[in-house]
């Protein structure tokens, strides 16, 4: 990743279509736009690509999570279970709707541990958000099975795994809905932007209305409805320029994944020369989006030695146990309950009573796994010299 590596004439043509109309807003102005509705076209094509009936475009992957949670009816007093290895947006959205994030361990998929999920479910659990982290699938069948046992909806956070599949079925299509990010560093990008997919028509309609200030979206392509508003909403609309870029990028997504897989295979072969290495558990290698390559060392000490060697060779990897944006113990603002509100909301009630306190020692299994895990981002156009340098550094680490 990311898709901006392949910006070309296709994106320019789609953007030019929009500029020729002069209409950047996704709704209204039917006379001026000459039948061009780029966001609607992207929604339709993305839904078809994922094998679902409905898709709702929004301003970001973060907005997608919030809009989906609102449509699912999640709010204050509720708990939402997600994993402790994810981007901060996952739990920010939970807090923003007034619910409480509950974090599970990850296993060697680097995604939600189904066994720990089961332990965390209680009467207040109103949604489960597994994250298909670093481009590869969570154990989604097991997670769905547990959720169905308790009657809890699953919202798949597929921000980093557009185009990923399990047994030929698109990630994001297993739960009640799935969210995607199209930000600047995603495989498929619109600069900023996101998408929610679902097979539930009423859920889609609620998302569609909520993301547009509650406007009634009766079947009327490109416009609003009769203004019989059902509930309040907010503004998370994608604009036509983003939709235009997304159409061109979606057409390239399978090619992007194919290229990433080829690069990942070379890195994987080189890493296997290191004694004690095990590879991240991949649920379906054929369906892997290959946006990242992750491998595990025998212990924390070996991991640190190997990464020191890689850095000396100009090929340092990411150790997510040290990363401040993606791993629970490093989220100091979450642990401290830091907020701009005078009452302390959402960590405290409006009266100032603390709602939740998080301990940095909450997820020891995840810490033990991530402390010995190294990760390389995979790009679509990976320079031959760069790829050779990383492979040679990995092979040289066998002697460390």
Active site amino acids: 186
Question: Whole-angstrom distance between the N-terminal and C-terminal Cα of the chain?
Answer: 30
Structure-token match 């061109």, residue found:
248
Q: What is the DSSP string of 332-377?
A: HHHHHT--SSSS-TTTB-TTS-B-----TTS-HHHHHHHTTEEEEE
Sequence-separated (6 or more) residues with CB below 8 Å from residue 243: 26, 38, 39, 40, 41, 42, 57, 190
Structural Rg of the chain based on CA atoms: 22
Structure tokens at 323: 């990363």
Beta strands in 215-370 (DSSP E): 278-279, 292-296
Question: Alpha-carbon distance 379 to 250, whole Å?
Answer: 16
Beta bridge pairs of residue 177: 155
Structure tokens at 110: 């680097």
Q: Are 198 and 219 in contact (CB under 8 A)?
A: no
Please name which of 139, 145, 172 lies closest in space to residue 156, comparing C-alpha atoms.
172
Question: Alpha-carbon distance 153 to 129, whole Å?
Answer: 9
Q: Are 181 and 1 in contact (CB under 8 A)?
A: no
């Amino acid at each position: 990743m990311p898709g901006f590596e392949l910006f070309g004439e296709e994106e320019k043509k789609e953007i030019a279509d929009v500029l020729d109309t002069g209409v950047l807003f996704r709704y209204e102005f039917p006379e001026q736009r000459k039948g061009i509705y780029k966001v609607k076209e992207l929604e339709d094509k993305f839904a078809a690509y994922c094998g679902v009936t409905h898709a709702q475009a929004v301003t970001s992957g973060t907005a997608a999570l919030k809009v989906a949670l609102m449509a699912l009816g999640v709010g204050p007093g509720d708990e939402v279970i997600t994993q402790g290895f994810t981007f901060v947006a996952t739990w920010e959205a939970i807090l923003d709707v007034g619910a409480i994030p509950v974090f599970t361990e990850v296993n060697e998929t680097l995604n939600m541990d189904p066994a720990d999920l089961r332990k965390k479910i209680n009467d207040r659990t109103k949604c489960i958000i597994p994250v298909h982290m670093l481009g590869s699938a969570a154990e989604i069948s097991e997670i769905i099975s547990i959720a169905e046992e308790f009657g809890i909806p699953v919202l798949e956070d597929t921000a980093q795994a557009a185009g990923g599949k399990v047994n030929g079925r698109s990630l994001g299509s297993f739960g009640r809905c799935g969210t995607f990010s199209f930000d600047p560093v995603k495989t498929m990008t619109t600069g900023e932007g996101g998408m929610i997919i679902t097979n539930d028509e009423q859920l889609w309609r609620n998302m569609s209305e909520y993301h547009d200030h509650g406007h009634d979206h009766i079947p009327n392509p490109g416009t609003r409805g009769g203004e019989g508003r059902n509930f309040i909403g907010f503004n998370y609309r994608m604009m036509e320029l983003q939709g235009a870029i997304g159409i061109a990028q979606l057409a390239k997504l399978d090619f992007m994944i194919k290229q990433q897989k080829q690069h990942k295979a070379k890195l994987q072969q080189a890493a296997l020369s290191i004694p004690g290495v095990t590879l991240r558990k991949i649920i379906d290698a054929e369906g892997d989006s290959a946006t990242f390559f992750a491998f595990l060392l025998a212990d924390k000490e070996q991991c640190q030695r190997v990464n020191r060697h890689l850095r000396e060779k100009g090929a340092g990897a990411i150790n997510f146990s040290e990363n401040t944006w993606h791993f629970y113990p490093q989220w100091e603002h979450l642990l401290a309950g830091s907020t701009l509100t005078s009452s302390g909301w959402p960590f405290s009630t409006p009266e100032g009573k603390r709602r939740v306190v998080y301990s940095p020692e909450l997820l020891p299994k995840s810490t033990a796994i991530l402390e010995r895990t190294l990760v390389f981002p995979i790009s679509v156009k990976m320079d031959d010299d760069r790829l050779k340098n990383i492979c040679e550094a990995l092979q040289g680490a066998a002697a460390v």
